[in-house]
Each structure stands twice: as structure tokens, then as C-alpha cells.
Amino acid sequence: MEQQGTQAWNPGTYDTQLGFVSKLGKGILEWLNPQPNEFILDLGCGTGDLAAEIAGSGAKVIGMDQSASMIATAKTKFSGIDFLVGDGEQFEVDHPFDAIFSNAALHWMKDADGVIKSVRNGLKTGGRFVAEFGGKGNVDRLVQAFYEVMPHYGIDPAERNPWFFPSIGEYSSKLEQYGFEVRIAEHFDRPTPLPEGEKGVMHWLDGFGDAFFKGLDEENRQSAKQQVYENAKQKLQAIDGVYQADYRRIRVYAVKK
């Protein structure tokens, strides 16, 4: 998962407490359908789990993420794969790829036009762009909790919001604008259990909500986080004591014309 600018990433926490992100992303690999000897970029690769899955098909994979700490962990976990630090909103490649893949990363890249232009320039003609990311309404109950609590701490949550959650029409139109043919696009609900019971909500806030708390002293930071936590728990559905994050995802399969 790649973040542009404000989110602080902890690779150990990401793997141990938020590992569901990569596990749930395996479904989009079926759309990618990597083939032996293909040249594939994993954009926003995080700690490399899905890049390793792609490499297992015999494809040549490069993983890229803006977080240097995530890339360092990926290199340690999967020494046989090439990983590099790079900005998903503006990147260039030496040789075009057969496919560019991304899971749970594009919603951290608010300059969607920059991403799509970079992806287009990085693909061969006929190359495919296969991605899954947060769509309109994604984690809306958690977002509401931030918007209700943070103004009490002098923070405008709209200015801090690090996410871009487009509608399927908005994103498909952007792809077409930059010379892609959209072959498949889906926008669907995926209620996602947050592991470890009530702790799951706090793990999610620690892992993904850092941008909203930046600049607060430690006392106010912990107080604000606790209030967002309590607010979010009231909004989220719980099944057998496990809170369900209201994820809504977009999947796209597009081809460079």
C-alpha cells in the first residue's frame, strides 16, 4: 500500500495486524492472470506479498512503493524480487511493462491523473492495467468518525483526508481520457472483519489514520484517537465481537490502446 506524503507506515504492524489487505487482494490477481516471462510492475507493493504471488507465476516483477520502510521490509522478506522506492503519481520506467498491477494503493494517490498518465507511459501498447482500490463510500463510517471528532481539536478533517475514493464512472472516464479501453469495471461492497475484537478498530486507526492526528501533542493525540475509536465503534456493525469495516472496492481491467 502506497501513501503519498502524510501517512506514516509501520511495516511490522502492517504485516501482523493489517495483513488482511494483501489476503483480500489475491482475488484481483485472477484478473491480472500473470504469465511466465511477462514484465509486471506492482504499484504500491507495500511489504511485497502480492509481488511474490505474481513472481510465483514465472513473471518478472518489480515492486514499487513510496514508503522506504515498506520497501526495506519487502527486500528482506523477498530477496529474489526487485523492489524500489518510487512515487506512484509521477514515475518513469526504462522499459515498458506488459502489465501494471495495484492493490489497495490507488486511493492513497490523490493525483489520479498523474497516476494514470504514468501508468499509460509505463505500459506497452496493448498492455493491461489491473487494479483494486477504495471506491466511493469506502470506510464511510470510519471517515464520519474523523469528521465528527477532529474539529474539536482544531483540525479540519477535509484538509487532512488522505484518500481519493472515486465513483466507478469517474475513474473509468479518467482511464478513457488517457487512452485506455476499460474492459471490466466493478464497484462492490466488501465488509471486512477487523481482527482482534475491539482492538481491531484501534489497529485500523493506528495503521491508516495517522494523517488526521499529525501536529497534535501526545496527550491530545491519544485523546482524539480514543474519541474517534469510540465514535467509530458505535457506527460499525459487529459480528460475534468482531467489528466490520465498511469497505467498498473498485476493480478495473483496462488496456492501453
Q: pLDDT tens digits for 151-171? A: 999 999 999 999 999 999 999
Instruction: Calculate the average pLDDT of the chain.
Output: 91
Cell numbers found for residue 222: 491519544
User: Residue 9: what pLDDT?
Assistant: 38
Domain ranges across the chain: 11-139+163-195+247-256
Alpha-helix runs per DSSP H in 56-132: 68-77, 112-122
| pLDDT tens digit sequence for 79-92 | 999 999 999 999 99
**Hey, what CATH topology would domain 11-139+163-195+247-256 get?**
Rossmann fold (3.40.50)
Q: Is the pLDDT of residue 17 over 70?
A: no
Q: At 63, phi and psi to the nearest 5?
A: -105, 135
User: Residue 68: what pLDDT?
Assistant: 95
User: Residue 197: what pLDDT?
Assistant: 79
pLDDT band at 19 (very low <50, low <70, confident <90, very high): very low
Note whether 105 and 250 are within 8 A (CB). Answer: no
Q: What's the pTM? A: 0.88
End-to-end CA gap in the chain: 27
DSSP state of 214: T
pLDDT band at 25 (very low <50, low <70, confident <90, very high): low
Q: Is the pLDDT of residue 247 over 60?
A: yes
> How far are the Cα atoms of 97, 146, 226, 231, 250 from residue 154, in angstroms, in the given order?
46, 12, 16, 18, 33
pLDDT band at 23 (very low <50, low <70, confident <90, very high): low
The number of CA neighbours under 13 Å toward the Cβ of 170 is 11
